[in-house]
Structure 1
Amino acid sequence: MKLIQLFWVLIFTSQSILSLATPTFKIKPSPVWKTKINFDPQGNAHKNEGSVSYLLLDWQDNEITKEYNYRYCMSLNDEDAVQSNSQLYFTFDPSYEELCINTIKIYRNGKIINKLNRDKIELMRNEKNVERYIYDGSYSAVCILEDVQVGDILEYEYTLKGANPIFKNHFYNYHSQAFSSRIQHMYYQMLLPEHKKYQVKNLFGGVAPIQSTKNGMQSISWNLKNVAPIFTDEDSPSWYDAYPASEISSFQDWKEVRSFMQDLYPMNVVCPKIKDFISKKKIRANEEGVIQIIRFVQDEIRYLAMSNGVNSHKPHHPEKVFEQRFGDCKDKSYLLSYMLKEVGVMAWPAIVNTNAKRYVDRYVPSPFAFNHVIVKINWKGKNYWVDPTFNNQKGGMDQLQNPRYGKALVIDNDKTDWEKIPENQINKVVINENFWFTDSISKIRYDVVSKFSGQIANIRRGWNLSNSLAENKDAYLDYCTRFYENMNWKHDSALIFRDNQKENTFTIIEKYEIESLWEHRGTDSLELYSSYFPYNMYEFMNSTNDKVRNAPLQITHPIDVELKINLHFPKHKQVAFEEEKDSVVNDMFKFHYDVSNNRLSNFVTLTYKYKSLQDHVPVEKLKTYYKDYNQVSEKCEYPVQWGMEVDPKFKIFGPAVFMAVLLIIGLFFWIRKLYNWDIKPEFQFGSVQDTIGGWLAFVALGLYVTPISIIYLIYDSGYFSQAIWDSFITQYGNQPFLAGGFYFFELLYNLATIFFAIFLIVLMHQKRSTFPKLYIYFRVIVLVGLFADNILGAEIIGSDAIDTKELSRGIVGAAIWIPYMMKSKRVKETFVKRLGKNKAQSEKTEELQVSKEMI
């Protein structure tokens, strides 16, 4: 008898084990407790609404029997709809759910075709999240439908029986009330025990439900007709939701949620192997010990989620996670909190929502308001927030970057519902790009040095160190060739990573060679051009082609980027650059750019600075953002003109030299005549100034600088170069002689200014009485010349802009020094000497002055 009993026990046990190992499903009619909802297969009024027209979405939950029924009726309007809906997937978790398929049918030409055939359904384990290292233990019953045609109406219905035991008597549901397709009829109902307490919260404009009590049950239902589609905008913040919805929860407040979560994370568990590990490693509650534990959990416990059944919310035992060396966010946070408490550091798991972030409290209280677990650490009176799923985090406690999750519900005994997670991330990027030019035809050396600090250093460290050097070189070269074609690595070791783990900085050094950047702007032009743009900065800026939108625009934040482009030219190549700077500032970001020209070393630096100020652009500020973004784009592109295709050897342009010599001869006779010009000084009696002092010192300084600066300008502009004059033929087409004449005017004007300034210097040191008037003439001539140069330049050679800086200096100088020369007492007392025949009179005047002073 005992053998027979043992036999049957073994039979039943083996059958139970087999049933657990092999999930199955049932085919049953619709549950009897359902409210019957009809639909008219011939009433599809929305065939032009898209690929699929939803005629009915009928979802009904029974929290008394723990049954959840889902029914779909849709019209397949084109081939895409047939393709995407000919395979049906009924997903369930066999550890606590039972799948019952109720209906699969097709309506065609007034006939009903039954498609529910058990032999056509196969069970498959889901692996859709394997690439994210998530295994949830779910299965799908897959039904591949045969003979599905455009115009068919498909109806299918299934029921899941059972609820996750981790929630015991609690329940929760989220009901979306709109989708991206029109819905002719949407019905949702939940049945509850008569006295069961619950909360309903309507979100984002969701419609309130109809609530009633009947036959010992509470009913909560929504009956929506002709639900319009809602289309979402790309690049909207994760916390933004455009779809109206309602939530139902049996949790009454956040304290109840925290109490529920506390039971899942007991800290009084026994973990002898963890204690032995801490003891052998001699880990203490100092900074080194805390960092050692954090890095161990982040880097040596790999991320892998086994979240089926109760483990959807309940973490595995810390000892098990420690031994198997893997776990999800719950497991790793639980382990980190436990290990820190073992060495005497206060630490608690904290639940957050990585999508809703700071707006997580807008949801109805429930554990489903959260999707992630991190750890709050209190060390030496200061709070730190650590995400144990991050890896490659370096630096000490001061370098710990709080994850940007907004706020958290900490699983401790505190009475506070929510704690704000301070934002302390410093994402600093400093990039230096160098272009080294030899000439216009040789290869160009292009170097990039990028230094990342803060959380972005952790991200870049992870990206680069997780790939091989060959993979990284291929990716970097592919990125750069989007902007600069015909380039390659300079040599095999041209990609270098420098990891300063103590300061938590990560530096990337890239060295390339570019075949050429210079190209002709037009088919008939001999001039070569290239343009430069801060491409490496733009990857941190956000824009979108979707200019008409209803959602805010997400932007990268926080980020602080400084990028410099250094253009190094050979010593023999003189390239003119205008120094300039400008800024664009709004509530979302601030941008600054600067162009500086180092003539001594012959290189130009383009400096760009961008810093985000918030994480999104509100809808009402999108217009301003787009306008400013476009303004930044315009300022970022910097064109450079090289000149002739091949730099010719210097050859003197004879006519220019001839004209210069003639002018110099003419200036010599004219200056000689002016030198002999003599006028009676305004000074008669009073003190005589022996030195050039007071404000006259600035006049003298200006005169000294003028010849030097203009001589350099003549050299830099190539007035005597044959190549420059030849270029007028190709550059100015039908009016080369007019352009050349303008160039002659500039040359002669500049030569006259030089000699006039030198002549004034001589008169100034001789204290000639003619100096003030001639200096006034000089100022007027210079100002008139500046205006003529700008006006003629715009008319003859099509100059784009008037040199307002030079004109301003000329106008201000004239406005100051002309009145000074006319009114200043010191000027009158200084310039009193006369020439030749008046010399004795001048000396007599000086003797009278001396006698007067002696008396």
Structure 2
Amino acid sequence: MRYRFLGQILATVLFLVTCLAKADPEITVEPTPAWVKTLTPVDSTQLPQGSVRYHLSNSQILHQGKDQQSYFQLKMEPLNQQGVGEISELTFGFYPAFQHLVVHDISIVRDGKRLNRLQKAAFKLFQTERELSSKLYSEQWSALYILEDIRPGDILTYAYTIQGSNPIFERSDFGRFYLSWPQSVDRRFVRIISDQKLNYRFNRRDHPVTVSRHQSNYVYELDLRDVPAVLAESEYPTWHDPLNYIQYSGYSNWEQVNTWARGLYAIDRTLPGSLRKQLDAWREESGLKEAVNKAIRYVQEDIRYFGIELGINSHQPRTPRATLEKRYGDCKDKALLLTSMLAHLGVHSSPALVSSSRGRDIGRDIPSPGSFDHVINLIQLNGREYWVDATAAGQGIQLRHKGFFNYEHALPVAPATRTLKRVEPSFAEKSLLSTEIEELFDIDPADNSAELRVNTTFSHLKAEQVRRFFLASDSEQIKNSYTNFIATYYPGVDPAPLISYSDNLEENRLKVSEHYQIQSFAKLSSARKIFSLYGSGIVQYISKPQRPIRRSPLALVHPVDIRQRAVANIRGELLWQEALGSTEIDNPWFTFSRTAELHEDSLSVEFVFQSKSDHVNQGDMSEYMAQFDKLDKALHYQFWAKGKASDQRNNSKEMKNLIKSLINK
């Protein structure tokens, strides 16, 4: 999720993604620290609207070398009962191994009187693992405080400090603060104090920053008034964040970040003797290239992906020996293990830091360790560079054919690294979501039924996605999934199809064969049976945006290469069909062609779609929608047909009418 609603964001915005060693969580109630600047109330010109009015969001942070204190204060007012429900539960997240939660204030103002609601005994502590679904375990804790007797018109204020930072970082002076949300804020105040000079940038809109010196510290302040709400849009690219934030860092360049990272990876990389012998045997038996393939496959398939990120292991990998003993590891553990195995084979490889969610957006970042949340490998072999994700499974055997994950920018953890490096595929087709579909329809217009056989070949990245589906699903799940997809276009499909697949791991291709029986194949319109062929393999990669009028770019699936050919054998007479020949659409976002050909007893339609961009700029939405409508129409090809049995029934009906006429006479 790109962002949460304000109440959730503001409760966690000061925390870096870190991990936890075993420790007992503790909450302290203390007065506001002396270093925190006290704010005086200000008037707002914004009119109350929605369910909650946010009067003040106040973030202040103190950096002293590795030490960090993060203060936060929020003042809000429920405007109705829905708002009361939204603010009545306060949640504070922290990592007890290196952080301490200090609460300063929980109070309300009602009818001009301040009522203290802070009671230490009322906090409920529980462990939260938001990342378990991603196979990561870090032991974050939450403190829950349930407010009683809150009414519309009350002004709730709460304030707290998180003391401490992850010791794995050599310095704490980097981070970001959001300055806007889907809700408006009367006043947004940010104060950053550091013993080192900071660099900073804004994501969307620049604001004046007051810079001063206090004793030996640098002080940076922003004081924003009447911050408008940002429309909560969806379907935007991962590299686009519609909310404005200030990012800051004491690092001057990526080389400094690389130096920090290299220190984390400067650990014992010794491999067990048994694994060294195995690597030597692979090289002797099959040559260097095949030994590399087997080493990658071993780490991807035989070492389970799971991360227990406690203490320094949030960013520092475990030794290859430790990973091998446990038979599992997270991204950095697996990346270092693979690097060590390839080094034994004489192949240069290095771990590379990437962002799994932001892609190219980190290219705009001020250098800091906070830009990264994932680790992959950069491998140099036979004059080529290969980017390999050791956490990926089901990628086949050959490095040449493994699918490519486009993280766009990376920081290789290597002595020569001075800046971010562009992540590019070693071969262009590796990044494609490539599919070839052959459909054979045997249509009986008289019975309005059809037999459908489909052969689909998936390659590279798309083959890996489908392979994981087949490996994770039983036969009934597979049949159900495929049948429901076909039923979207042909509702009369029999629910018991024949589905099989064959897998070519050597070339990273997977072929799926489908066999369906379909009743009520055509739709009746004005006594005509209208048959349809669809470019169904393309439809799943395009969709009409939920918000065509938007302020953010629209995300598109890219790169995609789909070729679908449908052949309709007709047991009867073809009465009419849409135009034969080619229909072509070409624009900045995709190219498409549809070619229809008529043969002696069959009709064939070929659909070809290739994407050209991963997004549509908001200013181009009108033109894109016009192109989308053209494509949507072209993906549906219609024809009329009648069967031989239809002639017999018509002749019989005419004979009956003639007999009736003679009798009447």
1:496 to 495, 500, 508: 500
User: Which residue identity lines up with residue 514 of structure 1 in the other structure?
Assistant: I
User: Partner residue of 1:628?
Assistant: 627
| Equivalent position of 2:454 in the other structure | 448
TM-score, structure 2 as length reference: 0.89
**Partner letter of residue 434 of structure 2?**
K
Report the counterpart of residue 608 of structure 1 in structure 2. Answer: 607
Moved more, 240-249 or 265-274: 265-274
Distance apart, 1:275 and its partner CA: 4.0
Secondary structure at 2:84's aligned position in 1? helix
Amino acid at match of 1:256: Q
Q: CA deviation at 1:326?
A: 1.7
Distance across 1 between alignment mates of 2:26 and 2:484? 49
Hey, what's the Cα distance between the residues in 1 that align with 2:420 and 2:91? 39
Q: What secondary structure, in the 3-state scheme, does the structure 2 residue paired with 1:173 have?
A: strand
1:110 CA displacement: 2.4
Contact 1:274 1:339 in 2 (8 A): no
Distance in 2 (CA, whole Å) between partners of 1:508 and 1:324 is: 36
Match in the other structure for 2:575: 575
The answer to whether the aligner puts 1:197 opposite 2:197 as a matched pair is yes
Specify the alignment match of 1:515 in structure 2.
519
Identity of aligned residues (%): 24
Partner SS for 2:647: coil
Contact 2:300 2:391 in 1 (8 A): yes
Of stretches 474-483 and 321-330 in structure 1, the one that deviates more from structure 2 is: 474-483
1:77 aligns with 2:79: yes
Find 1:132's aligned residue among 131, 134, 144: 134
Partner of residue 249, structure 2: 249
SS in 2 for 1:435: strand
**What is the rounded CA distance, in whole Å, between the counterparts of 1:641 and 1:443 in structure 2?**
14
Largest Rg, 1 or 2: 1
Displacement of 1:320 in angstroms is 1.2
1:138 and 1:308 in contact (8 A); partners too: no
Over aligned residue pairs, what C-alpha RMSD do you find?
A: 2.6
- Cα shift at 1:340: 1.0
Give 3-state SS (helix, strand or coil) of 1:156's partner: strand
Per mean C-alpha deviation after superposition, the further-off stretch among 417-426 and 68-77 is 417-426
CA distance in 1, matches of 2:22, 2:308: 17
- Please list, as runs of the form range in 1=range in 2, the aligned pairs for 1:680-695 lying within 5 A after superposition: none
Mapped contact 2:197–2:218 kept (Cα < 8 A)? no
Residues 356 and 374, structure 2, Cα contact 8 Å, conserved in 1: yes
After superposition, residues 28-43 of structure 1 pair within 5 angstroms as 28-39=30-41
Q: Is the 8 A contact 2:446 2:644 kept in 1?
A: yes
Conservation of the 8 A alpha-carbon contact between 2:108 and 2:115: yes
Distance 1:646-1:37 versus aligned 2 partners, 3 A rule: farther
In structure 2, what residue type is equivalent to 1:649? Q
Q: 1:495 corresponds to which letter in structure 2?
A: I
1:55 aligns with 2:61: no
Residues 283-302 of structure 1: pairs in structure 2 closer than 5 A? 283=283, 286-302=288-304
The answer to whether the 8 A contact 1:57-1:72 is kept is yes
Higher helix share: 1
Residue 432 of structure 1 corresponds to which residue in structure 2? 438
Task: Flag the 1:392–1:406 CA change in 2: closer, same or farther, 3 A.
Answer: same
Quote the Cα distance in structure 1 between the aligned partners of 2:269 and 2:400.
Answer: 31
Which stretch has the larger CA shift, 44-53 or 118-127? Answer: 44-53
Residue 384 of structure 1 contacts residue 400 of structure 1 at CA under 8 Å; is this kept in 2?
Answer: no
Residue 461, structure 1, aligned to residue 467, structure 2: yes
Structure 1 position 241, deviation (Å): 2.1
Structure 1: distance between partners of 2:588 and 2:40: 53
* 1:50 to partner: Cα distance: 1.9
Q: 1:274 to 1:228 in 2, by over 3 A?
A: farther
C-alpha distance in 1, partners of 2:63/2:635?
Answer: 61
Decide whether the 8 Å contact of 1:595 with 1:605 is kept in 2. Answer: yes
Q: Is the contact made by 1:184 and 1:226 (CA closer than 8 Å) also made in structure 2?
A: yes
Q: Is the alpha carbon distance of 1:225 and 1:652 closer, same or farther for their aligned partners in structure 2, counting shifts above 3 Å?
A: closer
Q: Partners of 1:31 and 1:281 in 2: how far apart?
A: 63
* Distance (whole Å) between structure 2 residues aligned to residue 116 and residue 444 of structure 1: 71
Once the two structures are TM-superposed, the CA of residue 161 in structure 1 deviates from its matched residue by 0.8
CA deviations 1:320-356 (Å, max 9, x no partner) are 1121122221111111111111221111011122333
Residues 1:107 and 1:625: Cα distance change in structure 2 (over 3 Å): same
Q: Aligned equivalents of 1:372 and 1:72: distance in 2?
A: 32
Distance change >3 Å, CA 537–CA 316, structure 1 → 2: same
Deviation, 1:312, is 2.2
| Maintained 8 Å contact 1:102/1:158 | yes
1:294 & 1:114 partners in 2: Cα distance?
Answer: 60
Whether contact under 8 Å (1:54, 1:75) holds in the other structure is yes
Q: CA deviation at 1:367?
A: 0.9
Q: Is the 8 A contact 1:402 1:421 kept in 2?
A: no
TM-score of the superposed pair, with normalisation by structure 1:
0.70
Q: Is the 8 A contact 1:489 1:511 kept in 2?
A: no
Instruction: Give 2:411's match in structure 1, choosing from 409, 412, 417.
Output: 409
Distance (whole Å) between structure 2 residues aligned to residue 274 and residue 237 of structure 1: 46
Which amino acid is 1:461 matched to? Answer: R
Task: Say if 1:220 and 1:416 are closer, same or farther in 2 by CA, change over 3 A.
Answer: closer
Q: Is the Cα contact below 8 Å between 2:46 and 2:226 reproduced in 1?
A: no
Paired AA for residue 150 in structure 1 = P
Aligned twin of 1:479: 485
Displacement of 1:276 in angstroms is 4.8
Map of 1:546-557 to 2, 5 A cutoff? 546-557=547-558
Deviation at 1:652, TM superposition (A): 8.0
CA separation in 1, counterparts of 2:282 and 2:566?
50
Q: Which residue is 2:529 aligned to? A: 528
Displacement of 1:419: 2.2
Higher strand share: 2
The within-5 A match list for 1:102-141 is: 102-141=104-143
Tell me which residue corresponds to 1:588.
589
In structure 1, the partner of 2:307 is: 305
C-alpha distance in structure 1 between counterparts of 2:261 and 2:295, whole Å: 24
**Contact kept? 1:166, 1:313, Cα under 8 Å:** yes
| Paired position in structure 2 for 1:269 | 269
For each residue in 1:390-448, what CA deviation from the matched residue of structure 2 results, as whole angstroms up to 9, or x when unmatched?
11001413213332112221111115423222232233211122322224325421222
AA aligned opposite 1:278:
Q
- The amino acid across from 2:470 in the alignment is N
Equivalent position SS for 1:461: helix
Question: Retained in 1: the 8 A contact 2:288–2:345?
Answer: no
Aligned to 2:13: none
Give the equivalent residue in structure 1 for 2:6.
none
How many Å separate the matches in 2 of 1:650 and 1:123? 78
Flag the 1:303–1:151 CA change in 2: closer, same or farther, 3 A.
farther
Between the aligned partners of 2:177 and 2:529, the Cα distance in structure 1 is 63
Does 2:636 correspond to 1:641?
A: no
State the AA in 2 paired with 1:298: Q
Q: Which residue of structure 1 aligns with residue 3 of structure 2?
A: none
User: Shift in Å at residue 238 of structure 1?
Assistant: 1.1
Deviation at 1:645, TM superposition (A): 11
Partner secondary structure for residue 124 of structure 1? strand
Query: 1:437 aligns to what SS in structure 2?
Result: strand
User: Match of 2:17?
Assistant: none
**CA distance change for structure 1 residues 280 and 378 in 2, over 3 Å: closer, same or farther?**
closer
1:378 to 377, 380, 383: 380
Structure with more relative contact order (C-alpha pairs < 8 Å, separation 6 or more):
2
* Alignment partners' CA distance in 2, 1:351 and 1:435: 49
- On the 8 A contact 1:528/1:644 being kept in 2, the answer is no
Could you tell me how far 1:67 is from its partner in structure 2? 1.5
Aligned partners of 1:290 and 1:545: how far apart in 2? Answer: 46
Aligned equivalent of 1:390 = 392
Query: 1:678 aligns to what?
Result: none
Q: Which residue of 2 aligns with 1:682?
A: none
- Displacement of 1:389 in angstroms is 1.5
Query: What is the deviation of 1:139?
Result: 0.7
TM superposition shift of 1:565: 2.1
Kindly provide the amino acid, as one letter, of the partner of residue 61 in structure 1: I
Retained in 2: the 8 A contact 1:552–1:616?
Answer: yes
1:531-542 aligned at under 5 Å gives the runs 531-542=532-543
Deviation by residue 1:659-716 (Cα, 9 ceiling, x = unmatched): xxxxxxxxxxxxxxxxxxxxxxxxxxxxxxxxxxxxxxxxxxxxxxxxxxxxxxxxxx
CA contact (8 A) 2:448 2:522 kept: no
Unaligned runs of 5+ in 2: 1-20, 659-665
Which amino acid in structure 1 is aligned with residue 254 of structure 2?
W
Cross-structure match for 2:370: 368
Match of 1:775 in 2: none
Equivalent residue pairs, number: 628
